[in-house]
Amino acid sequence: MRSGLPIRRLALAAALAALCLLPSLALARSLAQRKIQALAQFESAEKMREELNGRPQSERTARDYGKVIAAYRRVYFITPNSSKADASIVTMAELLAEQGRAFEDTKASQESIKQYEFLIEQYPGSRHKTEALFTIGKIYQEDLGDDDAAKTAFEDFLQQHPRHRLSPAARQAIADIEHPAKPPGKKSAQPVIAKAEASSGGAQKGETADVKSQSEPASKPVAAPLVNGRRPLVTGIRHWSTPDYTRVAIDLEEEIPYEAGRIPSPDRIFFDLHGTKLAPELVGKSFDVEDGFLKRIRVAQYQPGMTRVVLEVAPVSEYSAFLLPNPYRLIVDIHGQQPAASASARERQPFPAEMPQPKTSAENSSSAAAMSSRSAAVIRNEVPTDAVRKNAAISSTTPSPVKPPGKTSAARSDAEEPKEAPAESKTAEVKATERPTTSPTFQAVTPREEHKPSRGKEKEREIEAIAREAKPSADGQRGLIRALGLKIGKIVVDAGHGGHDTGTIGPRGLMEKDLVLDVSLRLGKLLENRLGADVIYTRNDDTFIPLETRTAVANQSEADLFISVHANSSHDSGARGVETYYLNFTSSPEALEVAARENAVSDKSIHELQDLVKKIALKEKIEESREFATDVQRALHSGLSSRGNSMRDRGVKKAPFIVLIGANMPSVLAEISFVSNPKDEHKLQTPEYRQKIAESLYRGIGEYVRGLSGVKVASAGAAH
């Protein structure tokens, strides 16, 4: 009996030890769960911020900012140990600073400083800490006008980081505070760029020396509209990248003239934004991307009144840029020199897509009723007319190298800011623009190789073969189309509009954004279940996604097909029918009107985009997109027609749709019906008719895939 006591005691001790460990194990599991929850919350907050950025500044409210700030604050409250906690605090500070400027709210600006101070105190190891201290000084100096507090912040920065890359800017800021400029007689609304006079030995007061040869005259002064009596700010940089392509969006407060160019060996693409100033939170910022093609983004106040953004990239094939309004941003697309063969042979990784349940008709109807009073203001806004567009031409030739702008003269006008750390060294530049412009630009560096897939004339199977349920492969993935023996990879389904952008609204209140979302989700489910495709949704709820983001999502995920779903509108309530578009320039006024409405830009901007499309569109991509559009249009028309109700076939058309610009795969935009037609609007509100539209779109996609004759769909878009 006694011999069993030690064993029982050991067992009891082990049990007690296990009980003691249970709380720590539970705590570890709880902490891990909270970190996962915090990451999900951060992603949700990022979506909310993108939606806020996509709304014109005039339509934003302090409450809108508050909702997004609260979303980032929840990341910290879920767990301060999250890998995104410090980034969330920085973003809160940036949003508060932006809110302070937008509404002249000093309390918001002061709260922004508190957030930066909290970051410095609570996260001493954060990579954002050093720049946060510098930004505090800039907010005091530029947003609050508190020179004493600004000087103290800059002095603290120099004491802690005397050799930091922002130290020269901090010293210059202190010098400006200690020796303020005299009150100006008259402020200039934009930087004055003048050719240096040989007899003067330098620039005159109020000028910036731009020393060039006589054969290369200096750029003419170009005004940028003021915002609240000051220069418009560059407020943000966003980017998406693949191994041989990158898209960058530069967020602006106003339409501004810009210059574009390239510095070779190694390749750097730069953009000089005239008449602009960096937002305090962006001063001296650099973004180390290192995701393949795009290496790094640098931004600085290159000259007083001129911001320079530099993109360090792999060897460049071509690049283009165009301005978008409401709100303004400069969109940059850069293609690399990766050979077509290696691009098409690149192994594609699975991209699982979650499939939310489609909204019911009742849900859509209630949503429409709740929001019917809201107008689609974005669609009606137009780009302000600028006289410089008369002389702004797109250049596809390579001009002679020119020298970069010269250094700022010590005798500068009071309207100019001190020069800060330059974004680029004085190396030979190859300009894509002859002068500052607001028009699209394009520059070909080396020709892109084209790879045209063969489209089979013989059809091996009937369309019913595609309609079979695709069986999962051994690893559970459904990327293999067993019915055809083809791999189609990924398909991006883009539901147009969303969030504050309602799209067109029918006579009874049906909103385009709700209709196309429901149809897109139904279409995606068919593509997943029947075709075995990996479906990627640009949006799966009532969220606004900027046009440039939609295309970038498709490219970044290396999708094989892109279809954007929209509904049409006309002043003629009797107009009806379906039509499908692909990207190309056109002379059709009707097609241009549709593109202007869906792009939410003016007719003048549409004609400028026409010129850009002529430059960037590859012949093989146009042909494949036209084939894709033809199959979708044929299926859409036949699927919605019946004996007693003949749907008008409005045909396949071409137009410069922004959502299709830059897509690296066959891409189309389908107008599924006219919401403005009362009879069609009634049918479009029923789940049965929406399912019928989705089935028709699915058959069109299936027909296109079936005609590829064993060639991967990806090969059509990967050759760039």
* pLDDT at position 103: 94
Q: Is 36 a member of any domain?
A: yes
Average pLDDT over the chain reads 76
Helix (H) or strand (E) holding 91: helix 85-103
* pLDDT at position 711: 32
Instruction: Examine the domain organization and report whether 438 and 499 are in the same domain.
Output: no
Residue 526 has pLDDT above 90, yes or no: yes
- For residue 330, list its beta bridge partners: 250, 323
Q: Is 14 a member of any domain?
A: no
pLDDT digits (tens, 9 = 90+) for 652-667: 999 888 899 889 899 9
Q: Where are the alpha helices (DSSP H) in 530-670?
A: 547-556, 589-599, 603-616, 619-640
Structure tokens at 471: 């069986």
Q: Is 377 a member of any domain?
A: no
Q: How far is CA 45 from CA 112, 540, 546, 623, in A?
A: 18, 16, 16, 40
Q: Is 135 a member of any domain?
A: yes
Q: How far is CA 546 from CA 32, 56, 326, 551, in A?
A: 33, 11, 10, 9
Q: Is 321 a member of any domain?
A: yes
Rounded to an integer, what distance in angstroms lies between the CA atom of residue 690 and that of residue 366? 17
Query: How many folded domains does the chain comprise?
Result: 3
Q: Which residue has the tokens 């879920």?
A: 78
Q: Peptide bond before 266: cis, by omega within 30 degrees of 0?
A: yes
Q: Is 482 a member of any domain?
A: no
* pLDDT at position 502: 94
Instruction: Examine the domain organization and report whether 172 and 299 are in the same domain.
Output: no
pTM of the model: 0.72
Residue 229 has pLDDT above 90, yes or no: no
CATH number of domain containing 573: 3.40.630.40
Rounded to an integer, what distance in angstroms lies between the CA atom of residue 666 and that of residue 364? 31
Instruction: Examine the domain organization and report whether 499 and 437 are in the same domain.
Output: no
Instruction: Examine the domain organization and report whether 440 and 493 are in the same domain.
Output: no
Instruction: Examine the domain organization and report whether 616 and 525 are in the same domain.
Output: yes
Q: Is 684 a member of any domain?
A: yes
Q: For the chain, give the number of residues.
A: 720
Which residues, 6 or more positions from 208, have their beta carbon under 8 angstroms from its beta carbon?
Answer: 191, 192, 193, 194, 303, 304, 305, 405, 406, 408, 409, 412, 416
Instruction: Examine the domain organization and report whether 432 and 522 are in the same domain.
Output: no
Instruction: Examine the domain organization and report whether 555 and 648 are in the same domain.
Output: yes
Instruction: Examine the domain organization and report whether 251 and 316 are in the same domain.
Output: yes
The pLDDT of 480-500, averaged and rounded, is: 71
Instruction: Examine the domain organization and report whether 604 and 520 are in the same domain.
Output: yes
Q: Is 679 a member of any domain?
A: yes
Q: Which residue has the tokens 């005299």?
A: 182
3-state helix, strand and coil shares in percent for the chain, rounded to the nearest 5: 40, 20, 40
Domain that holds residue 290: 233-340+392-405+413-444
Residue 230 has pLDDT above 50, yes or no: yes
pLDDT digits (tens, 9 = 90+) for 2-56: 555 667 776 666 666 666 665 665 666 688 899 999 999 999 999 999 999 988 8
Residue 216 has pLDDT above 70, yes or no: no
**Range of weakest confidence among 9-13, 285-289, 637-641:** 9-13
Structure tokens at 195: 């050719």
Residue 497 has pLDDT above 60, yes or no: yes
Rounded to an integer, what distance in angstroms lies between the CA atom of residue 635 and that of residue 699? 6
Structure tokens at 590: 């009707």
Instruction: Examine the domain organization and report whether 287 and 422 are in the same domain.
Output: yes
Comparing CA positions, the residue from 581, 583, 561 lying closest to residue 708 is 561
Structure tokens at 255: 């339409």
Comparing CA positions, the residue from 201, 414, 165 lying closest to residue 305 is 414
Instruction: Examine the domain organization and report whether 243 and 141 are in the same domain.
Output: no
Instruction: Examine the domain organization and report whether 173 and 239 are in the same domain.
Output: no
